[in-house]
Structure 1
Amino acid sequence: MNSSKNPPLILASTSVYRRELLERLRIPFEVVSPKVDETPLNGESTLELALRLAKAKAIAVSKDHPNAWVIGSDQVADLCGAAIGKPGNFERALAQLQLMRGQKVTFHTALCLMKGDTQTTLNVPTEVTFRKLSDESLESYLLAEEPYDCAGSAKSEGLGISLLESIKSDDPTALIGLPLIALTGLLRDAGFFIPAKN
């Protein structure tokens, strides 16, 4: 069996980080924007939000690609029950990091693999403890890495690791945005050969 025998696969995402992570598995895939409203619902928990959005992204793309397996994923950072989103700019990122300083934050990374009526949706939580750092250190980090498109305002795969005291997770790429250990298991169950043979 070679990689060309793997079923069609689509990543329902606009995230460059998820795309780069999926490329690690060395299987062919397409990327399609899911066009999903990510506004939280009233009373929705951070976990419920992550799971709903991962599934909604997969559903949105599956409608136009019924013969492909579709990956939907979403991440919501939770600080004491409140969602911490993507900051978008320096000022909001600094406010986020100040709020999370010395705190434990749970990053819910939800994953949905879907084809037609077949779907599996799960969550991989990651507990992150942020160091108690000065405003000067936080500002220096933000100016160096500009992580304004990342929930929680820190890239753990880059310089952002210096802001963290600890990371607890069963799936180390979940924090970056796509839990590859969980995903590899789901893809194998769906008939994918990983690693693919040449």
Structure 2
Amino acid sequence: MSNFPQIILASKSPRRQELLKLMDIDFRVVLKEVDESYPDGLAPAEIALYIAQKKAEAFDEDVTDEVVLTADTIVCIDGEILGKPNDAEHAIAMLHKLSGKLHQVYTGVCLLYKGRYNKFYDMSEVFFRKLSDEEIRSYVAEYQPFDKAGSYGIQQRIGLIGIERINGSYTNVVGLPTEKVYQQLKAIGCLNQN
């Protein structure tokens, strides 16, 4: 593996780390604080790509031969962007908004390698059944989903009991579209071609 560039995952998300491990990809985690604001007027996919690139740009001066992998996931319902909740009541309000409806999950990914930003995204449609107030409140109290766009983790109880179906990539909803990431890393020569 030494003839392949080292991959740096610039994410504190344990879910993204776990997905890369499950893909048998060697990486190390390096974190930097990045302002995740974005300009008005961007479409959902553009927002995810914009923030993913901002996260990668924070490493521009620090890396030479490594690959920096950044990602940003957003939830969108009826044209409204749902980011990470501010507190429990905000999380509960978001989940009530998602309950019984279709929403979209966008993950933007940026690979910084040799001064170039390779950006791509994936979108999945997620259908929640109607959730009871008790289901929502007990989930928020137990799981404290304050680090999750849209206030839920698909792999946690609310996702397991509430999501009827998904159109698109499951791992994209978790936070990293693994099939696309794998193909792009292979394309820039970062992985074994086997």
- Is the TM-score greater than 0.5? yes
1:158 aligned residue = 156
2:166 aligned residue = 167
Residue 156 of structure 1 and its aligned partner are, at CA, apart by: 0.9
CA 1:21/1:180 → structure 2, altered by over 3 Å: closer, same or farther? same
Q: In structure 2, the residue corresponding to 1:174 is in which secondary structure? A: helix
CA 1:146/1:195 → structure 2, altered by over 3 Å: closer, same or farther? farther
1:44 correspondence with 2:42: yes
**Equivalences for 1:26-175 in 2 at 5 Å?**
26-161=24-159, 162-169=161-168, 171-175=169-173
Cα distance in 1, alignment partners of residues 67 and 97 from structure 2: 39
CA 1:87/1:194 → structure 2, altered by over 3 Å: closer, same or farther? farther
Residue-by-residue CA offset, 1:143-186 (whole Å, 9 max, x unaligned): 332222111112111212212121111x3211111111001101
Cα distance in 1, alignment partners of residues 113 and 21 from structure 2: 20
Cα distance in 2, alignment partners of residues 45 and 184 from structure 1: 25
Q: Which of residues 186, 190, 193 in structure 2 aligns to 1:192?
A: 190
Cα distance in 1, alignment partners of residues 77 and 142 from structure 2: 25
Kept in 2, the 8 Å contact 1:10–1:68? The answer is yes
Letter in 1 for 2:10: A
Cα distance in 2, alignment partners of residues 160 and 137 from structure 1: 8
Residue-by-residue CA offset, 1:101-155 (whole Å, 9 max, x unaligned): 1121111101111212333211100111111122112112223322221111121
Residue 47 of structure 1 and its aligned partner are, at CA, apart by: 1.8
Kept in 2, the 8 Å contact 1:105–1:129? The answer is yes
Q: Could you tell me the TM-score, scaled by structure 1's length?
A: 0.89
CA 1:195/1:26 → structure 2, altered by over 3 Å: closer, same or farther? farther
Matched residues, number: 193
Residue 53 of structure 1 and its aligned partner are, at CA, apart by: 0.8
Residue 195 of structure 1 and its aligned partner are, at CA, apart by: 8.3
Residue 81 of structure 1 and its aligned partner are, at CA, apart by: 1.2
Share of identical aligned residues, percent? 34
Q: In structure 1, the residue corresponding to 2:147 is in which secondary structure? A: coil
2:179 aligned residue = 181
**Worse-matched range after superposition: 20-29 or 64-73:** 20-29
Q: In structure 2, the residue corresponding to 1:185 is in which secondary structure? A: helix
Cα distance in 2, alignment partners of residues 168 and 67 from structure 1: 37
Q: In structure 2, the residue corresponding to 1:61 is in which secondary structure? A: coil
CA 1:107/1:185 → structure 2, altered by over 3 Å: closer, same or farther? same
Cα distance in 2, alignment partners of residues 101 and 110 from structure 1: 24
Cα distance in 2, alignment partners of residues 146 and 105 from structure 1: 21
Q: In angstroms, what is the RMSD of aligned CA positions? A: 1.8
Letter in 2 for 1:18: R
Cα distance in 1, alignment partners of residues 185 and 162 from structure 2: 33
